Amino acid sequence: MNNAYLDEKHFKDKLNTAWTDWKNHIPRFQSIVHWWEPYAKKKMTTLFMREGTERNQDRNRMEEFY
């Protein structure tokens, strides 16, 4: 995960929105630990990977443009 994304408002807003949604799923699990490992941690990793993928695609498009 690239923690440099956390310095950007756009990504922080996206993360806060997702975090609120993820927290709504806590009651479905036995404990917060059971929620964190299989659910929240996986979602967070996926969010960071998606952001990196989108940025790489944007960078590649810009390189191809010139």
pLDDT tens, residue by residue, 21-58: 999 999 999 999 999 999 999 999 999 999 989 888 87
Q: pTM (2 decimals)?
A: 0.78
- Secondary structure element (H or E) that encloses residue 3, with its range: none
**What φ, ψ does residue 24 adopt, rounded to 5°?**
-65, -15
Complete DSSP assignment for 7-47: GSHHHHHHHHHHHHHHHTTGGGSSSHHHHIIIIIHHHHHHH
pLDDT (tens digit per residue) in 13-23? 999 999 999 99
Residue closest to 23 by CA, chosen among 11, 10, 35: 35
